[in-house]
Structure 1
Amino acid sequence: MSEPSLQHPLTGKRILVTQADAFMGPVLCEVLEEQGATVIASREDIADPDAPRRIVDQAGSVDILVANLAVPAPSSRVGDVSAGEWRDTFATMVDPLPRLMQAVLPGMREQGHGRVLVMGSASALRGMKRASTYSAARGAQMAWTQSVGVELAPENIQVNLIAQNFVDNPTYFPPEIQENPRFQERLKREVPLGRLVSAREDAQFAAYLCSDAASCFVGQVFPVCGGWVNR
């Protein structure tokens, strides 16, 4: 096995990416491969309760799991949130986490190391109208990461989360939204950068968190966004 280099810090790493065709999946696979990783890109329906075990079994031994989980964000008023909306959102973004962990954990323990990076959202860090379901699911991801991260740290298994917002991706900011003048005004009003964080900027940070250089971080939630204007 070749040694990692500064240009290819992920050389020799086998990385499993879930929902590889959605959210940050495409650019994550691209950047991780550029940095030397062998990427196993899963496009299965992660909401299927049996999918996490099946995905991991098919992937074989992995060093790193990137739990890239997303659904189109519901925008129901709190009084209109249906049981189905709540159930479906948690079924895709929260319920797969323990199932994925239980599937990869034995292999990581056997090899003496491992890493899980959750691609989350900063929506749970600030109250937003008409986002109770989505924010609750993203908040659950954060709490799970913090708890599991400190539990598994003594076993040389690092679990962290990127809490992103205003990051360019096809699930939440497709071209038709970005081209909308009202959205452009919103960026100027709410985001000090005045623009979306690029997909590659976000993916490159994710790649760093997958590298050996980031072994000191456990149970951390890293905000990645253009920055909110505090009110």
Structure 2
Amino acid sequence: MTTPARTALVTGGASGLGAAAAERLRADGVKVTTLDLAGADVQADVTDEQALRQLAADIGPLDILVNSAGIVGPNAPLVDTTPEQWRRVLDVNVVGTVNTMRAFVPGMRARGWGRVVNFASMAGKDGNPNLSIYSASKAAVIALTKSAGKELATSGVLVNVITPAVIATPMNDSTAPDVLEHITGLIPMKRIGRPEEVAELVAFLASERVSFSTGAVYDISGGRATY
């Protein structure tokens, strides 16, 4: 009797790190559904909790959840940001991640196996100048992952977070050139990362090969990370 293929949902799966992760998981034989605002298998907004709950009912049991959906928000000094900008970025990057976990983790826990891979950023550890909202949102995802990892530690569901330095993705096309130059200059390897490099780490964290790591932060930063 053959073992059924693992199933996965990758948010933000139409491009960038999400698309790379989906491609890599499919290479491992995982049945992947991508979710994005457009251009994915499923069109949905991660801030829409009801839509996610309906999706959970429609696609059935899920083994792997990769939370790649996110936005950068404004490139501006903290004092020039607005409450509305803060709410928008936090709603997508933090509450969106919470929404998908609340929709799909209960089923994983009930079946005794699951892998959740969240995406944060080196900005969430170091704080990037003029990206206070983005940095704060990604710090929240790190703390969320640590908390959930502890809550689910004996359930068979592992929750980990990846913190990339700057990666060559469409998201960074909107990053101001001076900011991009600054954050690339912080990388000892003196280059930006490639999506497929990050996807390899996703594939590991989504697999049975990882078994004693949860609530952990995995840097992929070309040497930038120092803790």
Q: Which residue number corresponds to residue 85 of structure 2?
A: 85
Does the alignment pair 1:120 with 2:113? no
Q: Which ranges in structure 2 are unaligned for 5 or more consecutive residues?
A: 37-43
1:137 aligns to what? 137
CA contact (8 A) 1:146 1:160 kept: yes
Matched, 1:221 2:217: yes
Q: Does 1:26 align with 2:19?
A: yes
Aligned 8 A contact 2:118 2:160 in 1:
yes
Deviation at 1:209, TM superposition (A): 0.7
**1:15 pairs with 2:8:** yes
1:18-97 equivalent positions in 2, closer than 5 A: 18-43=11-36, 44-97=44-97
The change in CA–CA distance for 1:159 and 1:183 in structure 2 (over 3 A counts) is: closer
Change (3 A) 1:162 1:197: same
SS of 2:143 mapped into structure 1: helix
Mark the runs of 5 or more structure 1 residues left unpaired by the alignment: 4-10
Shift of 1:20: 1.1
1:168 has 2:168 as partner: yes
Q: Does residue 189 of structure 2 align to residue 193 of structure 1?
A: yes
Question: TM-score normalized by structure 2?
Answer: 0.87
Distance 2:108 2:127 in 1: 36
Determine the C-alpha separation between the residues in 1 that align with 2:127 and 2:91.
22
Q: Distance in 1 between matches of 2:8 and 2:201?
A: 15
CA displacement 1:152-171 (0-9 Å, x = unmatched): 01111100000111222111
- Measure the CA separation in 1 of the matches of 2:134 and 2:175: 19
Greater alpha carbon shift after TM alignment, 97-106 vs 140-149: 97-106
What residue in structure 2 maps to residue 7 of structure 1? none
Task: Check 1:104–1:186 CA distance in 2 against 1; reply closer, same or farther (3 A cut).
Answer: closer
Name the CA distance, whole Å, in 2 between partners of 1:128 and 1:112: 38
Name the % identity.
Answer: 29
Q: Quote the offset at 1:42 in angstroms.
A: 1.4
> Could you say what secondary structure the match of 1:171 adopts?
helix
1:208 aligned residue: 204
Conserved? CA contact 2:20–2:195, under 8 Å: yes
Q: Give the TM-score, by structure 1 length.
A: 0.86
**Inter-partner Cα distance in structure 2 for 1:95 and 1:45:** 11
Contact 1:24 1:169 (8 Å CA) reproduced: yes
**Mapped contact 1:22–1:70 kept (Cα < 8 A):** no
Native 8 Å contact 1:42 1:55 kept in 2: no
Q: Which consecutive aligned stretches of 4+ in structure 1 deviate over 3 angstroms post-superposition?
A: 180-187
Matched residues in 1 for 2:145 and 2:52: separation? Answer: 17
* Contact 1:52/1:96 (<8 A) preserved: no
Distance 1:34 1:76 in 2: 40
Shift of 1:183: 5.2
Distance 1:130 1:37 in 2: 39
